[in-house]
Amino acid sequence: MRSKTFRGGVHPHDNKHYSNEKPIEEFPAPKRVVIHLSQHIGAPSKPIVAVGDFVKKGQKIAEANGFVSIPMHTPISGKVVKIGDFPHPIGTVQQAIEIENNGKNEWTDSIKDNEKFLQLSVDEMKNQIKNAGVCGMGGAGFPTIVKLSPPKEKPIDTAILNGVECEPFLTADHRLMLEKPDEIIAGLRIIMKILNAKSGIIGIELNKKDAIKIFKNKLKNSKNMKVVPLKLRYPQGAEKQLIFAATRRKVPAGGLPMDIGVVVQNVGTALAIYEAVRYNRPCIKRITTVTGEIVKSPKNLRVPIGTMISDMINYCDGTNKNIAKIISGGPMMGFAIPTSETPITKTTSGIVLFGEDDIIDTTEQVCLRCGRCVDACPMNLTPTFIVENVKNQNYEEAKKVNILDCMECGSCSFVCPSHIQLIQWIKLGKLEVGKLKKKE
Amino acid sequence: MISIAIIVLGCLGIIFGIGLAVASKKFHVKIDPKIEQIEKALPSVNCGACGFPGCAGFAEAIVHSDAEINLCAPGGEECVHEIAKIMGIKASTKERKIAVIQCQSGGINNTFLKFENTGIETCQAALILSGGQNLCKYGCLGYNDCVRVCPFDAFAIDKNNMRIVDENKCTGCGKCVDACPKDLIQLITISKKVNILCMSHDKGKMAKTSCGNETVCIGCGICAKKCPVSAINMEDNLAVIDYEECVVCGICADVCPTNAIIAKKIEEK
């Protein structure tokens, strides 16, 4: 069978060899954690603890603030030390709750094992997922409960699990698929039951042949679930590109996948959903890859949310050379962050470290009009025109050339021979266009 | 043969000529000559300080929709008088305002940095990255957005990478005020030139250690205590001047231990 894909995209070297053979390790409970109140898309959560309170592992410390929001839980037991501003892995400073570990590792009593979890009613399942604070673990962090509650006029027939992991360097999803395939399939079953979807698809990129093989074996006898191997190409794991490759359906501009009857969830989210429904366990840990050429022993770690990146680097035996750049997320879409004293959030899928030798000079040259960015853009946009408008502060024109449809995958910047920082300009332009909207 | 061509073309010419003449009479649009005169009186820099789309838009607004005539900041008093003469109304001039920058750090060269910024070199873009590369989260980013936006070339950059406003060139159009993402530029009336050169709400020690410069408001509050008309208030570790009350005595500038206040009267030219 020919492998499926989409139009456009680029082929960066995947660099997954640093960590794709390393099994997932359980990260020991850190001395302190910092839980950000805004780890997801939507309204920041509201803290419900005060400084000085004692909290138990798994206890809710912040509640959802509206429908598009999620509650937060603490991954360690201890004392609330501070509620204030902390650096956020998207490169800003935001409000967070700091908790000091008391070393007792006490769980709250809400945890139970319900082996007949698939017989729960849809509402019970949704309630448990909502209370567990699950949000998309792939990177964007869309609250899962919102994705699982489509309006009645938009029936969902297909649920897709995203196991593509097209970002270079990252192997967290890959290892997860190798080590916990049954849990992921159970997660997909729960999603399909909630959405009343007829078919379930697991999309995996061809550089993870071992994972494809495992899932093909497991789903041999399944009638409504299948694996779709996808061609090696970035950004194959982007929601709209994945949907097109797997189902040949196109999400309308400015629309959501639920408009065409599809819901996409990351495999990590599927695991979190499974744990929430079966064990009633809140989302307090995630799998994160710490990698890069300069890391002494790159690892895939199951880390409590809120662990400091510096602690994780130390756990991986530090680095050979001086760190020149820390990137939270993958190198294509991730954020360079100013300090390693930054906690990870529910959406931090990887920490990539670069030494001074890996940084290339990216002084901007003039545009050659070669059109490579246009060829590479998976959304069929013309990045060079958009950027020209942003540079001239012509934001209304930028909006007309669909700047808001850009998903910031970075393919255009990757191919630009003039080193124009297209994606940075577009990000700036999107902010300004957003301001225009507010003015109206 | 040639005579036929001449006759045909001649007739066509006459017909079209008559047509155009009739059309120009019939579809004549009356333009108020005042608009043109006002446009001439305006400085035609199209800065937008008046709030209308360019000088032509402002002129039209004055004539048709009774816009206030003293809105043109670059034109100054002279311009207002001239417009008043054209419109035949009394002129009420506003005092000239100038822009002052409330940070002396000079951005990238002088302040202590959190990280090295290799991104796009504009203040707006730097702001997205952790609120800028400076340790001081209130200070000037130093990528000259204000300089680029100024239509009058009133900004100069000295050897310490600090931006200086040329008081003679600045017209108070306020473009730089909008351009500064850190809100460090303020318009003040030219007769009340008392200015605090720092916007840091950090506590004294923190403010001093995060700025590479000495002229930092440490929030000591001496100026607020010494002000004879109590025009200075302390707001979250920062002195803020109430220009309505200020009498430009200059005491605050004398008592400030870090020289973060300047006060001087400048002569109107």
- The domain locations on chain B are 33-87, 107-186, 191-269
CA–CA min distance A314, chain B (Å): 21
Secondary structure (H, E, C), chain A: CCCECCCCCECCCCCHHHCCCCCEEECCCCCEEEEECCCCCCCCCEECCCCCCEECECCEEEECCCCCCCCEECCCCEEEEEEEEEEECCCEEEEEEEEEECCCCCECCCCCCCCCHHHCCHHHHHHHHHHHCCECCCCCCCEHHHHCCCCCCCCCCEEEEEECCCCCCCCHHHHHHHHCHHHHHHHHHHHHHHHCCCEEEEEEECCCHHHHHHHHHHCCCCCCEEEEEECCCECCCCHHHHHHHHHCCCCCCCCCHHHHCEEEEEHHHHHHHHHHHHHCCCCCEEEEEEECCCECCCEEEEEECCCEHHHHHHHCCCECCCEEEEEECCCCCCEEECCCCCECCCCCCEEEEEEHHHCCCCCCCCCCCCCHHHHHCCCCCCHHHHHHHHHCCCHHHHHHCCHHHCCCCCHHHHHCCCCCCHHHHHHHHHHHHHHHHHHC
Q: How far is CA B206 from CA B203, B209, B218, in A?
A: 5, 5, 9
Of the candidates B114, B119, B130, the beta carbon closest to that of A424 is on: B119
Q: Which token pair is A135?
A: 């949000």
- State whether A336 and B129 contact (CB < 8 Å): yes
pTM of the model: 0.85
Short-list B120, B176, B173, CA closest to B148 = B176
**pLDDT at position A51:** 93
What are the phi and psi torsion angles at A200 (to 5°)? Answer: -125, 135
Greater confidence (B36 vs A439) lies with B36
**pLDDT at residue A142 tops 80:** yes
Alpha-carbon torsion A251, A255, A261, A267, what sign? positive
CATH T-level assignment (fold) for domain A20-110+282-358? Ubiquitin-like (UB roll) (3.10.20)
Which residues in B lie closer than 8 A to residue A336 (C-beta atoms)?
129
| CA A337/CA A339 separation, integer angstroms | 6
What residues does B55 pair with on adjacent strands? none
pLDDT tops 70 at residue B107: no
Predicted confidence (pLDDT) per residue in A287-310, tens digit: 999 999 999 999 999 999 999 999
Kindly report, residue by residue over A353-370, the tens digit of the pLDDT: 999 888 887 788 999 999
Residue type, B45: V
Q: How many angstroms away from the CA of A21 is the closest CA of chain B?
A: 34
> Confidence band (pLDDT; 50, 70, 90) for B194?
confident
Task: Evaluate whether B33-87 and B107-186 have a shared fold.
Answer: no
Residue of A286, A159, A167, A300 lying closest to A237 (CA atoms): A167
Q: Which of A93, A425, A432 sits opposite B130 (nearest CB)?
A: A93
Q: What is the DSSP letter of B260?
A: -
* CB within 8 Å: A431 and B128: yes
Closest CA to A348 of A88, A98, A8: A88
CA distance A1 to chain B (A): 44
Residue B118: which of A93, A362, A431 has the nearest Cβ? A362
Contacts of B164 (CB under 8 A, 6+ apart): B155, B156, B157, B158
Say if residue A182's pLDDT is above 60. yes
Q: Are strands A299-304 and A72-73 parallel, antiparallel or unpaired?
A: unpaired
| CA closest to B116 among chain A residues | A338
Residues in chain A: 440
Q: Identify whether A75 is preceded by a cis peptide bond (ω within 30 of 0).
A: no
3-state secondary structure of B33: helix
Cβ contacts below 8 Å, chain A against chain B, sum to 35
Q: How many CB atoms lie within 10 A of CB B93?
A: 14
d(CA B53, CA B44): 11
- Region B77-104: mean pLDDT is 84
Q: What is the pLDDT of residue B267?
A: 43
The tokens describing B58, both together, are: 């402002």
Q: What is the DSSP letter of B154?
A: -
CB B251 within 8 A of CB B261: no
Question: What is the rounded CA–CA span in Å between residue A336 and residue A329?
Answer: 9
- 3-state SS, residue B141: coil
Region(s) of chain A under CATH 3.10.20.600: 20-110+282-358
In 3D, which of A190, A241, A179, A246 has the Cα closest to residue A214? A179
Distance from CA of B41 to the nearest CA of A (A): 29
Q: Which residues belong to CATH 3.40.50.11540 in chain A?
A: 117-279
Q: Which of B155, B214, B210 is nearest to B180 (CA)?
A: B155
Q: Which residue of A has its CA nearest to B118?
A: A362
For the domain spanning B191-269, the CATH number is: 3.30.70.20
Residue A289, phi then psi, degrees to nearest 5: -95, 130
Q: Dump pLDDT digits (tens) for A373-402.
A: 999 999 999 999 999 999 998 999 999 999
Residue B114: which of A338, A362, A432 has the nearest Cβ? A338
- Contacts A427 to B, Cβ<8 Å: 128
- Whole-angstrom distance, CA of residue A411 vs CA of residue B131: 25
Instruction: For residue A159, give both structure tokens.
Output: 């649920």
Q: Give the single-character DSSP code of B79.
A: H
**Window from A11-20, A97-106, B147-156, B159-168 with minimum mean pLDDT:** B159-168
Amino acid letter at A332?
M
pLDDT at B74: 83
- Closest by CA to A344, choosing from A409, A288, A297, is A288
The arithmetic mean of pLDDT across residues A55-80, rounded, is 92
Residue among A338, A362, A424 minimizing CB distance to B125: A424
Among A27-41, A62-76, B106-120, B216-230, the minimum mean pLDDT is found in B106-120
- Which chain B residues are within 8 Å of A93, Cβ to Cβ? 130-131, 137
- Residue B20's pLDDT is 95
- What's at B102, amino acid-wise? Q
Other Cβ atoms within 10 Å of B156 Cβ, number: 12
Give the closest residue to B183 by CA, choosing from B201, B169, B207: B201
Q: How far apart (Å, rounded) are the C-alpha atoms in residues A331 and A410?
A: 9
Q: How confident is the model at residue A2 (pLDDT cuts 50, 70, 90)?
A: low
Nearest to B142 by CA among B154, B151, B155: B155
Inter-residue contact A199 to A191 (CB < 8 Å): no
Judge whether residue B265 has pLDDT over 60: no
Residue B213 pLDDT level (bands cut at 50, 70, 90): confident
Q: Which residue is closest to A360 within chain B, CA to CA? A: B118
Write down the residue that tokens 């880390």 correspond to. A303
- More confident of the two residues A121 and A440: A121
Q: What is the pLDDT of residue B93?
A: 73
Mean pLDDT highest for which of A128-137, B58-67, B136-145, B203-212? Answer: A128-137
Give the architecture-level CATH label for domain A117-279. 3-Layer(aba) Sandwich (3.40)
For residue A231, CA distances in Å to A7, A204, A242, A284, A414 come to: 11, 9, 11, 33, 19
Backbone φ, ψ for residue A214 (5° rounding): -60, -50
Closest chain B residue to the Cα of A342, Cα to Cα: B130
What does the mean pLDDT of chain B come to? 85
Residue B99 has pLDDT above 70, yes or no: yes
Query: In whole angstroms, what is the distance from residue B196 CA to residue B224 CA?
Result: 12
Average per-residue pLDDT for chain A: 91
Q: Cβ–Cβ of B125/A336 closer than 8 Å?
A: no
Closest CA–CA distance from residue B128 to any residue of chain A (Å)? 8
Q: Which of A270-274, A333-337, B128-132 has the highest mean pLDDT?
A: A270-274
Residue B269 has pLDDT above 50, yes or no: no
Determine the distance in angstroms separating the CA of A334 from the nearest CA of chain B, rounded to an integer. 12
CATH class of B107-186: alpha beta
Question: Chain B residues with CB-CB distance to A under 8 A?
Answer: 114-115, 118-120, 122, 124-125, 128-131, 133, 137
Spatial separation of the C-alpha atoms in residues B75 and A324, rounded to whole Å: 52
> Residue B268: its pLDDT value, please?
42
pLDDT at residue B109 in the model = 65
Q: Please compute the mean of the pLDDT values over residues A190-207 and round it to a whole number.
A: 93
CATH class label, B33-87: mainly alpha
Mean pLDDT of A252-273: 92
Query: Closest partner residue to A93 among B120, B125, B131, by Cβ?
Result: B131
What per-residue string of b and e applies to B44-55 under the rule 16 or more CB within 10 Å gives b? ebbbbbbebebb
